[in-house]
A and B are shown apart, each in its own frame.
Chain A
Amino acid sequence: MNKYKFKIKNLDCANCANELEGALRKIDIIENVSISFMTQKLNFECTEENKEQALEKIRKIIKKEEPDVTIEEV
């Protein structure tokens, strides 16, 4: 398991952050997902080989839930 950190852009409501976090939790290959509205960060854990696949799933969910939001690895 590796920890990954992403900066979130254009996430402008706290409740949306909550809901997005809830939606991302359903992805089975990632663990300990958390979105901090305060620091505008997305943290999650997954194995290295699953990273790309996980990112693809995350982006897909974001596109559905909050189309304005983009993420960027730090």
Chain B
Amino acid sequence: MSRKMSKQLIKIIISLLLVVISLLLKFDTELYSNILYVIAYIIVGYDIVLKAVRNIFKGKVFDENFLMTVATIGAFCIGEFPEAVAVMLFYQIGELFQSYAVDRSRKSVASLMDIRPDYANVYREDEIERVDPDEVNIGEIILVKPGEKIPLDGIVVDGESMLNTQALTGESVPRKVTVNDEVLSGCINNDGILKIKVSKEFEESTVSKILDLVENASSRKSKSENFISKFAKYYTPIVVIVSVALAVIPPLVIKEALFSDWLYRALSFLVVSCPCALVISIPLSFFGGIGAASKIGVLIKGSNYLEALASAEIVVCDKTGTLTEGVFKVQKIKAIGYSDDELLRYAAYAEGFSNHPISISLKQAYNKEINEKLVTETQEISGKGVLAKVDGKMVLVGNEKIMKEYNIKFQKSEETGTIVYVAINDEFAGTILIADKIKEDSYKAVKLFKNNNVKKVVMLTGDRDNISESVANGLNLDEYHAELLPQDKVSWVEKLMTQKSSGGKLIFVGDGINDAPVLALSDIGVAMGGLGSDAAIEAADVVIMTDEPSKIASSVQISKKTMRIVKQNIVFAIAVKIGVLIFSAFGVSTMWEAVFADVGVSVLTIVNALRVLRIKNTYNNR
């Protein structure tokens, strides 16, 4: 609690005590208790009255300070002393609670995004200097000790360590880094000591980019927020005008009407005239939603996108790198007459000198040193494969064509992916399947999308039809379109955009690098694997820091919860206010109900809005 707030709290407590004393000690004459009320009023409300007076001179009559002052002083005038003090007292309690709630949520969102490094240890003239990260230049060497945040992006030149990337990615498994690895600012160095050569200035580093994005997110306002702004613009003047009419017209028109009676009703109106509950709780909900999403490693660039995510109807995904891992790995080995390991060893040795993607996959799967002395007479047969002598045996590795060319009797494999045929000493020895693999997370993502009312999940890819089909079937997708050129993807997205219902939204998910036109075309463009890719952060509306597509589905869930809370607050606040206005107009409800409609509703809507922030735990501890 800030100093300003505690001062305010003390004033409220003193004033409250005076009111209680006055209520308990039943004075003989009303005068004494009224004096106590006035003192209580002055203590708690003098600053509001002062502001109000100042605003009158500026012609700001719809200002809430002014309205509160008029309502309370009016109440004094018609002899409703306790009401007058209560209205001011509760108004101030409400205000205090608001600043406390806003302050707290601001801090908790800030701590979600607590990635800004405070300093950097930089080597200068053989000494370590502690400087502001801003002052470090590209090419300088910085030292990061265990427990410290990495202040700038760079390359490790010395040391080895585990990095905690949770603040950036929401991922709790630490990442190992060693010499020549790229490291990103905002990660926390867990154990080892790292020397890092800086590759980007602070302003351009990952941490600055992310903070910038999150901080600016609330400046792109959602439709709900714009609605509230508009509502607030008309609501207050209308209520005030009706209030004036209520005080003046009935006493003139109706014979037996008492002026003080109608004035009391009019003053109740003024108490309800502030749209505070809405004006504060709606942006607070969005702010909280964006904060909750950033906690799981999803950066949403604006409240408008958070709002749109809730009505996601069609999700369009790129295949390679989005739904699949994007790396070609040995998936299956079928050896004949040899063990699987032997077959892989022969194939890896034969391909030992090649840098073809297939050779690289084979060597990665073999994952042992290749003794080059054992490989002789290597012949690359362009586009088809390799023939080489390994351990004195002739090893032929390649596609179907090469097998036919060398007249080898082989069994054709029906697997989808790239099939490597191996023959040893002119005898067929088996096949190795190399394929891209569906991410484990993709299965979860598709299910989560369906659970969140997404009608259709579509895959668009440039890859071959049979491979795409197996991915689409494996994931149980609704639709897929394969062998597309970049411009085909654009026209498919255009087509899909027409299939959604009027309020529905289309999400496109890609790697953010080659998809700029489609990202721009869709309602919400999502880039995956944003960590370390500036292009992705730049191009998309929503950035997933890791490469898990299920995080998009989780964001849809967060968005839905946020929107539910927003709607609850809008309906609740407007209903209570209008209800109380109607009851006050007919003299059914008193100023006490009006105070509830003002302060009580503010407090309740704020508490409701704060629930958004609690989302983070459920998603994180899945």
Interface residues of A (CB under 8 A from B): 5, 12-15, 18, 21-22, 34, 36-39, 41, 43, 64-65, 67
Q: How large is the interface on B (under 10, 10 to 19, 20 to 34, 35 or more residues)?
A: 20 to 34
Q: Report chain A residues within 8 Å CB of B275.
A: 15
Indicate if B274 sits at the interface (CB-CB under 8 A).
Answer: yes
Q: Which A residue sits closest to B212, measured CB to CB?
A: A5
Whether the Cβ atoms of B232 and A37 lie closer than 8 Å is no
Given the contacts A14-B276, A15-B275, A15-B276, A38 and B102 also touching, CB distance less than 8 Å: yes
Q: With A and B bound together, what is the CA distance between A39 and B214 in angstroms?
A: 10
What's the dominant secondary structure at chain B's contact region?
helix
Chain B CB within 10 Å — which of A13, A14, A22 has the most?
A14
Contacting A at CB under 8 A, from B220-238, are: 220-221, 229, 232-233
Given A15-B64, A15-B279, 19 additional A-B pairs, CB 8 A = A5-B216, A13-B98, A14-B98, A14-B283, A15-B274, A15-B275, A15-B276, A21-B229, A22-B229, A36-B219, A37-B102, A37-B280, A37-B283, A38-B283, A38-B284, A39-B106, A39-B215, A43-B219, A65-B60
Residues 69-104 of chain B: 1 if any A CB is under 8 Å from the residue's CB, otherwise 0? 000000000000000000000000001001100100
In the complex, 20 of the A-B residue pairs with CB atoms within 8 angstroms, ordered by the A residue number, are: A13-B64, A14-B102, A14-B279, A14-B280, A15-B64, A15-B232, A15-B274, A15-B275, A15-B276, A15-B280, A34-B219, A34-B221, A36-B219, A38-B218, A38-B284, A39-B106, A39-B218, A41-B215, A43-B216, A65-B60
Shortest Cβ distance from residue A19 to the other chain B in the assembled complex, whole angstroms: 8
CB distance from A53 to the nearest CB of B (A): 22
Please name all residues of chain A whose beta carbon is closer than 8 Å to the beta carbon of B229 when the two chains form the complex.
18, 21-22
Which chain A positions have C-beta within 8 A of B219?
A: 34, 36, 41, 43
State A73–B214 Cα separation when bound (angstroms): 18
Q: Is B3 an interface residue (CB 8 A)?
A: no
Minimum CB distance partner of A36 in chain B: B218
Is A38 in contact with B287, judged by CB distance below 8 angstroms?
yes
Digitize B35-57: 1 where CB-to-A-CB distance is under 8 Å, 0 elsewhere: 00000000000000000001000
- The verdict on B58 contacting chain A, using a C-beta distance below 8 Å, is yes
Shortest Cβ distance from residue B441 to the other chain A in the assembled complex, whole angstroms:
32
> What 4 pairs between A and B have smallest CB-CB spacing?
A34-B219, A14-B280, A38-B287, A36-B218
**Total A-B contacts with CB atoms under 8 angstroms apart:** 53
Whether the Cβ atoms of B233 and A22 lie closer than 8 Å is: yes
Which residue in chain A gives the minimum CB-CB distance to B4? A12
Residue of A nearest to B219 (CB): A34
Minimum CB–CB distance from A33 to chain B (whole Å) comes to 9
Please determine whether A18 and B102 come into contact, CB atoms closer than 8 angstroms: no
Identify whether the interface residues of A are mostly helix, strand, loop, or mixed.
Answer: mixed
Closest approach, in angstroms, between the C-beta of B224 and any C-beta of chain A? Answer: 13
Most chain B CB neighbours (cut-off 10 Å) among A21, A37, A43: A37
Q: In the complex where A37-B283, A38-B102 touch, is A18 in contact with B218 (Cβ < 8 A)? A: no
Contacts of B58 in A (CB 8 A): 64
Closest to B99 in A: A12
Bound: A12/B280 CA distance, A = 11
Please measure, in the bound complex, the distance between the C-alpha atom of A14 and the C-alpha atom of B287, giving whole angstroms.
13
> Are B276 and A38 in contact, CB atoms less than 8 angstroms apart?
no
> Which of B105, B233, B280, B287 has the most chain A CB within a 10 Å cutoff?
B280
Bound Cα distance A36, B60 (Å): 22
CA distance A43 to B212 in the complex (A): 12
Q: How far is the CA of A21 from the CA of B218 in the complex (A)?
A: 14
Residue of A nearest to B51 (CB): A68
Q: When chains A and B are docked, how far (Å) is the Cα of A13 from the Cα of B220?
A: 19
Q: Using a CB-CB cutoff of 8 Å, which residues 339-362 of chain B contact chain A?
A: none
A13 touches B276 (CB 8 A): yes
CA–CA, A18 and B221, complex, Å: 12
Contacts of B102 in A (CB 8 A): 14, 37-38
What is the CB-to-nearest-CB distance from B69 to chain A, in angstroms, rounded to a whole number? 15
